[in-house]
Every structure is written in structure tokens, then in C-alpha cells.
Amino acid sequence: MKVLLVEDDTTLNQNIKEYLMQEQFDVEVVFDGQIAEKVMKKTSFDCIILDVNLPFKNGYELCKEFRVYNKSTPVLMLTAFDELEDKVNGFDCGADDYLTKPFYMKELAMRIRSLIKRNNNLPGQETTENITVEDIVINQKTKTVKRSDIEIILTPREYQILLKLALAKGELVDKQELVKEIWGGSFEANTNTIEVYINFLRKKIDKPFDKQLIKTKIGYGYYLNL
Amino acid sequence: MKVLLVEDDTTLNQNIKEYLMQEQFDVEVVFDGQIAEKVMKKTSFDCIILDVNLPFKNGYELCKEFRVYNKSTPVLMLTAFDELEDKVNGFDCGADDYLTKPFYMKELAMRIRSLIKRNNNLPGQETTENITVEDIVINQKTKTVKRSDIEIILTPREYQILLKLALAKGELVDKQELVKEIWGGSFEANTNTIEVYINFLRKKIDKPFDKQLIKTKIGYGYYLNL
DNA sequence: AACTTTTATCGAAACTTTGTTAATAGTAAA
DNA sequence: TTTACTATTAACAAAGTTTCGATAAAAGTT
């Protein structure tokens, strides 16, 4: 269970982190909104805990922006009681729950667990989610792909490959892994099938645009140049 | 906004009621589990607030039983901090949120409003209603279909397929899913039955009209082009 | 620079999926 | 029992997808 904790108060941050780690969570901490924004884009978590008042970018904004490209990862907001007042409703920004300071650590842990559990039990969410990388949007439900809002029609295999690359978020995807996951366990290695498909994909999603996203790491595989 | 408050502590009950009324809620109060059970069955509310410790029947049981026949009305549980401990997870009984005593009235009101709002935004129960997509009207009660006010007679299978597509509201319906839901759990995959029925359907509901609604997503399934 | 290895590209062939029609089997009411 | 209708299967055509092999181009090595 990997959670992201965004809280600028160093003492509170430290306390929460310690408690959650002791409760078997894998905790990544961030102290300001600007860094949080980047981390949220790059890494995927089971739950995100956002303080409202943060340097550079507040929790509400962060959450709202996050929801544009990720609708499933649960977000829990931490609000001071006096912040409740004017914000009217913490859920307006797309948060799934909030906790008013001061709170019991026990309750925080419980709410996190509930959110994660609820999230895992939801029917479509994982598969329904839109995956966005740069200007490419992959809609898993409708199996459609858009780049710069232009629909690109991919065959099932092309789609699978693009999806795998996109899920890696720019990380290198080993050729063998790609082959294994798309053509199943055993596959004779003496063909250039992957190269052919990468070529098909490039024709469709790279050639018509300025920025070429699919990069080759010679000897290893492919990755998206984000 | 009608809420039901089930709380045996007379002072707290009174306080909550007053605050919520002042916040424009219409509040009905009950002081024990037995009466609550009856009221919940008889009357419908926008939100139910349940204390955990109640005479005769506790909040967890009440909630669990309620969920058997009502899955949509939001339930908020009120728990004392020391009750949190062993109950592990207030959501196990089907509650939508909980609040640990002592709490701020302001927060209670806010959470109630969120729950109601969230509930209203949820995709609907339109089982008995007429389903309309583009110029097609499906009357679920009479099992008749019209397009542009012209009645189209469909066989039961054709109807089932059209209904499933219509309920997806233009979203892709996976072929396997379609097969499973219409021919039941197991079905040998080596037939073209779906294609045949899609063909029948197209003849009846697409061919005689201008706009062709049933689209094929090759390799995946079908969807309505809305 | 010459050679080897790896990746890109292309077209044709093989294969899969989907669309269409027709024949056949099943079922329930006249 | 016959009739009218629905459901299923089969056969083939059409459309679309995947694979393969040949060759070109690029990258890495000596």
C-alpha cells in the first residue's frame, strides 16, 4: 500500500509518516505543492493525502488538476478547522474524503484503508480510467486513442503496445517484456514483429505530429519521450 | 432535504437536531434501534445518521439490514473514539461515511451535504423508465422500440442486444460481455451468433434510416454512434 | 573505414474477424 | 398438425489484421 503524503508542517509530516509506516503503509512524503504536482504525475499511489495549505500550490488546486487525468486514485484532504468555513465543501475539488485537524492517527489510518478498499471494490474504475501521457489520451473503456484531440484508430495489437508504453510513464519497456505480455508466455524470438508494430504505431501516432514520442533504446526496448 | 437522526443520547440528539434544522434540514429523530428499523423501512430520507451504540439494535446491524433493501440512501455513522478500535471499519456494514465523537456540527452538516450531493450525481436507476438514445425510444415495460416514432418489432434476442447497447449510452460494449449477458455464463466462443444478430438489428433499426447508429469496434465489440 | 548487429520499412501472404445470406431446427399458438 | 415465427448453425464473401521475409538504414565495434 503506497501512499503519498503532502504536508508542509515538518513535525506533523514526520508524525504521520511514522504512524503510517508502523501501520504497514509505504509512505512517500512531499513538503510543497510544486513538487507534489510532479510526483503525482510521475508515480502512482494507492492513496494521496493532501494538506490544504501548502507552499506554491494549495491542496484544492492540486486535487482538481490531478482529477483531470486521474479519476480513480483516492484523495484525502487534511483541513484545519478554520479552513472548513469558506471552502464550503472539500469534495468540490474531487477529493474522496477529508479530515479536520486535529485528528486521531488511528482515524486517519482507518480512512485511508477504507478509501483504498472502496476503490479496489469499485467496478470499472481501474479499467475505465483515461491514461494521459503528454498529449495522448487513451480511453481504456472505449479503446480509443487521441492525440491533440484527434482520434487515432489503432488495431488491437497496436493498442496493446501503446498502452503498455503509456503505463510505463516514460520508463524503458524491455522488448522481451513487451513481447511476453502481448503475445503471451512463449513466443518464438526469431521475428521482427515488435519492430513492425512499433513502425505501425509510429506512422499513426508520431509521424503526423511534431514531437516524436516513441523512442528506441537500442539493445533494450522502447520508451515514451515525455 | 430530509434526514433521519438515530441517537439515544437525548442531549446530543437535541443538539444535532437543532443545528441541522437551523441549516435548513428537515430532521426526523429516533432514540432506539427498534423504532429506527421500522422508520427506515417506512419512510424515505435523503440521508440517515446512525449512532453506533443504540438500545435494542446497534447502528452496524441497522445499517447492514438497511442495505439489503436500500443501496442508495447514504448512511453516516457516528462512533465514539473507543468504538473505532474493535469495529475495524465502519464501512463494512455499508455505511458511506462516519464521524468520530466529539465532532464539530459544522463538519457533520458538511458531510451530510456531500453525501446527498454525491448520491444525486450517481448514475441512475432507470429500470422502469423509457430509454431514449438519439431518436430511438425503448419502452422497457412494453418491450417495444420506436425510431423516429415508427414502431420497430424486434424479437426478444434482438431486443436484449439493443437494450444492452442503449444502456451503455454510446460506450463500447465488449462482445464477450454481450454474449455473457444474453446467453448466460458459458457459451462456446466459436460461433458468429452475435454478428448474425447485429446484422438483424441493423436491418431493422439502421438500414431504413439515415443515420447508422450501430458501429463496430473491430476486435472489441459494438457501440452506438450517438 | 569496414564490419557486425540491431532496428526500420515495405509489400505480399496468411490469417482472423465480421457481414451476409440461406438452410435448418425449435417452439408455441391457431 | 400445420403455420408462423424465432433461434441457431453453416458457408462463404468481404474487410481488416498480423506475420514473414527481404532489404535498407542506423548504431555500435574493431
User: Is A211 an 8 Å CB contact of chain B?
Assistant: no
* pLDDT value at A14 more than 90: yes
**CA–C1' nearest nucleotide, residue B191:** D9
How large is the average pLDDT for residues B172-199?
78
pLDDT digits (tens, 9 = 90+) for A106-115: 888 888 888 8
Contact A52, A98 (CB under 8 A): no
Reduced to 3 states (helix: H, G, I; strand: E, B; else coil), residue B90 is helix
How large is the average pLDDT for residues A162-169?
90
Contact A110 B117 (CB under 8 A): no
Cβ of A143 near strand C (distance < 7 A):
no
**Whole-angstrom Cα distance, residue A44 to residue A118?**
17
Cβ of A218 near strand D (distance < 7 A):
yes
pLDDT band of residue A123 (cuts 50, 70, 90) is very low
Cβ of B123 near strand D (distance < 7 A):
no
**Whole-angstrom Cα distance, residue A31 to residue A13?**
8
pLDDT digits (tens, 9 = 90+) for B83-92: 665 445 556 6
Give the pLDDT confidence score for residue A3 in this predicted structure: 93
User: Is B82 an 8 Å CB contact of chain A?
Assistant: no
pLDDT band of residue A116 (cuts 50, 70, 90) is confident
Q: Give B38-45 contacts, CB < 8 A, sequence gap 24+.
A: B39/B4, B40/B4, B40/B66, B40/B70, B41/B69, B43/B4, B44/B2, B44/B73, B45/B2, B45/B3, B45/B4, B45/B73
Higher-pLDDT residue of A12 and A83 is A12
- Report chain B residues whose CB lies below 8 A from the CB of A142: 171-172, 217, 223
Best of B84, B89, B91, B99 to substitute, by most chain A Cβ atoms within 10 angstroms, is: B91
pLDDT digits (tens, 9 = 90+) for B98-147: 888 888 888 888 888 878 877 665 554 444 568 888 889 998 878 889 99
**Whole-angstrom Cα distance, residue A15 to residue A9?**
10
Contact A142 B217 (CB under 8 A): yes
How large is the average pLDDT for residues A210-226?
90
Contact A143 B223 (CB under 8 A): no
User: Is B218 an 8 Å CB contact of chain A?
Assistant: yes
Between CA B8 and C1' D25 the distance (Å) reads 82
Give the pLDDT confidence score for residue B86 in this predicted structure: 47
* pLDDT value at A86 more than 50: no
Residues 46-75 of A with CB under 8 A from B: none
Contact B46, B24 (CB under 8 A): no
Give the pLDDT confidence score for residue B190 in this predicted structure: 60
Cβ of B199 near strand D (distance < 7 A):
no
**Whole-angstrom Cα distance, residue A83 to residue A95?**
15
Give the pLDDT confidence score for residue B84 in this predicted structure: 61
Q: What's the mean pLDDT when you consider all of chain B?
A: 83
Nearest CA in chain A to B223: A142
Give the pLDDT confidence score for residue B13 in this predicted structure: 93
Contact A107 B90 (CB under 8 A): no
Q: What's the mean pLDDT when you consider all of chain A?
A: 84
Give the pLDDT confidence score for residue A44 in this predicted structure: 83
Give the pLDDT confidence score for residue B193 in this predicted structure: 86
Q: Which residue is nearest to nucleotide D21 (CA to C1')?
A: A191
pLDDT digits (tens, 9 = 90+) for A49-58: 999 888 888 8
Which set of grid coordinates corresponds to residue A179?
A: 513481447
Cβ of A173 near strand C (distance < 7 A):
no
Q: For strand D, which nucleotides have at least one atom less than 7 Å from a protein CB?
A: 5-12, 16-22, 27-28
Give the pLDDT confidence score for residue A127 in this predicted structure: 41
A128-137, A179-188, B212-221: segment of lowest average pLDDT: A179-188
Contact B130, B140 (CB under 8 A): yes
**Proportion of chain B above pLDDT 90, given as a percent:** 22
> Under 8 Å CB-to-CB from A174, ≥6 apart: which residues?
A220, A221
Cβ of B153 near strand D (distance < 7 A):
yes
Give the pLDDT confidence score for residue B27 in this predicted structure: 92
Give the pLDDT confidence score for residue B90 in this predicted structure: 54
Give the pLDDT confidence score for residue A126 in this predicted structure: 42
Higher-pLDDT residue of B81 and A192 is A192
Q: For strand C, which nucleotides have at least one atom less than 7 Å from a protein CB?
A: 6-11, 17-22
Cβ of A192 near strand C (distance < 7 A):
yes
User: Is B131 an 8 Å CB contact of chain A?
Assistant: no
Give the pLDDT confidence score for residue A97 in this predicted structure: 84
Give the pLDDT confidence score for residue A5 in this predicted structure: 94
Reduced to 3 states (helix: H, G, I; strand: E, B; else coil), residue B199 is helix
**Whole-angstrom Cα distance, residue A160 to residue B226?**
26
> What is the length of chain A?
226
* pLDDT value at B216 more than 60: yes
Identify the sign of the CA torsion A20, A21, A27, A31: positive
Cis before A74 (ω within 30): no
